[in-house]
Amino acid sequence: MNVRNCGRCGRMFNYVANEQICPNCKKKEEEQFQTVKTYIQENPNAGLKQVSDECEVPTKLIKQWIKEERLEFTSGTGIALTCESCGTPITTGRFCDKCKAAMMTGLKDTARGMAPKPALQAAPKKEDKGGMRFIRT
């Protein structure tokens, strides 16, 4: 039997797969996610701080969802989210499209060095307004 301490409340729980938090906290987090999701849908221009305040969800948790690519900031929110590899401002996840693409082809590319690559196509889905966008539940 696999037992570990919940990353949120510290209680011991039986875990399956890579769960970091106990079922209780998981459930609570899902509820918080739904609250944030609804709030963002109703207030598409709300920034991180506002969403956090209004939904009573820590910004840390919201940022975690963004890193997990469950949420995305739309442009214009002034959120300082940057690519962990090159520092380019990004709206979701941990790396910019360029670095993600580079990582995908990285294995082949390292052998022949940094050959210049054709410019990547701009992401077609960008909305030109502030706030956050909901990606998936």
**Does residue 73 contact residue 135 with C-beta atoms inside 8 Å?**
no
Query: Of residues 71-130, which lie at the interface with Zn ion (CB under 5 A)?
Result: 83, 85-86, 88, 96, 99
Q: Does 8 bind Zn ion (CB under 5 A)?
A: yes
Nearer to Zn ion, 90 or 132 (CB): 90
Nearer to Zn ion, 66 or 96 (CB): 96
Closest CA to 118 of 104, 98, 100: 98
Bridge partners of 72, per DSSP, are: 133
Task: Quote the least distance from Cβ 11 to Zn ion, whole Å.
Answer: 5
Bridge partners of 13, per DSSP, are: 4
Taking the CB of residue 42, how many other CB atoms lie within 10 A of it? 9
Task: Quote the least distance from Cβ 45 to Zn ion, whole Å.
Answer: 26
Nearer to Zn ion, 54 or 63 (CB): 63
Query: Of residues 18-47, which lie at the interface with Zn ion (CB under 5 A)?
Result: 22, 25
Output b/e per residue, 83-97; b: 16+ Cβ within 10 A: beeeeeebbbbbbbe
Nearer to Zn ion, 15 or 134 (CB): 15
Q: Does 67 bind Zn ion (CB under 5 A)?
A: no
CA R_g for the chain: 18
Positions in the binding site for Zn ion (CB under 5 A):
6, 8-9, 22, 25, 83, 85-86, 88, 96, 99
